[in-house]
Amino acid sequence: MPFKPAPVSLTQLVHDRKARFRQQLESSEYDAIIVSSPESVLYATGYESMPARLKKAYYYAAIITAERCAMVVPSADFAPAIDAGVAPDDITPFGTFFFSGESAANTLNVRHKDFDGALREALTKVKGRRVLVEWNGIPPHRP
């Protein structure tokens, strides 16, 4: 009899991971966690940035709280992150990139030239002040 794998919903898998993150945060001393390595961002959000996998100095991050999951990404990752299920309002982009066609990415309003400025803005939306940070993907001149 051939092996038949059980069907897996990637949407449900990501939802379950976010729920586990939130449960852990609620029972910890922290209000938020910032993850920045490609593996951690994929695990926490379901979004995989191919440039981040290929280029070590490709900065982006996810900020997970009990209420939400926000992302700080290069403008080029704005549309792919939306396609992966991240709400446009939960994305703080930086840098310049141009999109064509009809998509939510066409509404991109970039207010930051660099990762540091975008991260600062995203952190102003985080409730609480106790933040656990994975420094692996954060630039050394971090905010």
pLDDT tens per residue, range 30-80: 988 899 888 888 888 888 888 888 877 788 999 988 888 899 999 888 888
Longest dimension (CA), the chain: 57
Helix (H) or strand (E) holding 32: strand 32-35
CB-CB contact of 116 with 92 (8 Å) = no
**What is the per-residue pLDDT for 137?**
66
**What is the per-residue pLDDT for 79?**
83
What distance in Å separates the CA atoms of residue 124 and residue 28, rounded to the nearest whole number? 21
Q: What percent of the chain is modeled with pLDDT above 90?
A: 8
**What is the per-residue pLDDT for 61?**
93
**What is the per-residue pLDDT for 141?**
57
Helix (H) or strand (E) holding 33: strand 32-35
**What is the per-residue pLDDT for 140?**
64
Higher model confidence: residue 107 or residue 89? 89
According to DSSP, the residues that pair with 33 across neighbouring strands are 64, 132
pLDDT bucket at 19, cuts 50 / 70 / 90: confident
**What is the per-residue pLDDT for 100?**
61
